[in-house]
Amino acid sequence: MIARALVSRFGPLVGIAVAILLALAVAVPALNLLVPAGSPLHVPTHVVVLLGKWLAYALLAVSLDLVWGYCGILSLGHGAFFALGGYAMGMYLMRQIGPRGVYGNPVLPDFMVFLNWTELPVTWWGFQSFPYALLMVVLAPGLLALALGWFAFRSRVTGVYLSIITQAMTYALLLAFFRNNMGFGGNNGLTDFKDILGHPIQGPGVRAALFAATALALAAGLLIARFVVTSKLGLVLVAIRDAEARARFLGYRAERYKLFVFTLSAAMAGCAGALYVPQVGIINPSEFSPANSIEAVIWVAVGGRGTLVGAALGAVLVNAAKSWFTGALPDYWLFALGALFIVATVVLPKGVMGLAARLRPRKAPLPPQAPVPAQQPAE
């Protein structure tokens, strides 16, 4: 019943994907917590964490597909928005440690005590509150995207020039967050988390809850993105992607539409980062690496640009391959990733979703009907 309602409202692909995610949000925690460890149906905790990390990556891919697939904005800096959301959640988790740190300071994190800081920086104020941290998860990447997009889109910077600007942005943040005097842990980043909402972060129940939250967030992200691209706003975005000059000639302020979707996409990427950090247990400046943003582009290209579900599927498939390669053939993963991008670009320009559409059996055309003879008028 739920799947049918989702399919009728949001289309078959997104509807089925959301129904699967809702089922996973219930089934995986249940198989982890309720099924005995010796049972073949038991899902180990480390698998729950790995699946949750892949789903967080999938939400990042959906956010990138929203701007690249439907608006033609190839962002090479979405890893920065992902990392900013992760740092916002990491700062909340660090404030929850309190006096249980190595140095026992109830206010300052351990790295600040080690660096002889005497008071908490202004940037850390308020992060002892979970609602405030959630607000910063959305606001920090959203405001950065708003500021960058405001100047770039008003100046009509497009194409490869915009991609280079976004890549320069994430590299600048990488260098900034590496500095100890920024107050974000330097090259070590933020780690050694203890609790989240008063519960031990390493507990199996919390791990299962984080997986369920990530699955629900990905489902919500798909629904929001689908709502945007199927609305009148989405039609204008596609028009801007295909012929921005014509859209401007028709009277549309293209920069406003691009700014809105770019900011929304950045906020979604920040949410993905916030869900990623408590599951992996660390956030450091390496998440700002331009290579991470480029890898996210590969996920979308492999899954299928402009499909939303394909982007999420591509993120899961590529990261599953990465987990296998880095364990079995760690020296060859980057070669495999490069080859995968070449194949996706040359052989599968529409990604896995395009391949599935080509392989889908088509209905045979109906045979032409014989013409009906005209009736003779009665004499």
Calpha distance 375→248 (Å, rounded): 56
| pLDDT of 128 above 90 | yes
Calpha distance 317→324 (Å, rounded): 11
Calpha distance 119→345 (Å, rounded): 52
DSSP bridge partners of 196: 199
Calpha distance 330→291 (Å, rounded): 17
At 182 the pLDDT is: 92
| pLDDT of 374 above 90 | no
Look at residue 326 and tell me if it is in a domain.
no
For residues 67 and 262, the answer to whether their CB atoms sit within 8 Å is: yes
Task: For residue 50, give both structure tokens.
Answer: 């790995």
Look at residue 125 and tell me if it is in a domain.
yes
Q: What are phi and psi of 200, to 5 degrees?
A: -60, 125
Q: Average pLDDT, whole number, for the chain? A: 91
Look at residue 310 and tell me if it is in a domain.
no
Average pLDDT, integer, range 202-218: 95
pTM value? Answer: 0.92
Look at residue 359 and tell me if it is in a domain.
no
End-to-end Cα spacing for the chain? 60
Look at residue 364 and tell me if it is in a domain.
no
Confidence band, pLDDT 50/70/90 cuts, at residue 372: low
Calpha distance 143→377 (Å, rounded): 77
DSSP 3-state of 282: strand
Show the domain range for 167: 18-290
Angle at alpha carbon of residue 48, lines to 42 and 51, rounded to 5°: 125
Look at residue 345 and tell me if it is in a domain.
no
- Percent of the chain's residues with pLDDT above 90: 78
Domain count, the chain: 1
Number of residues that this document lists for the chain? 379
Look at residue 195 and tell me if it is in a domain.
yes
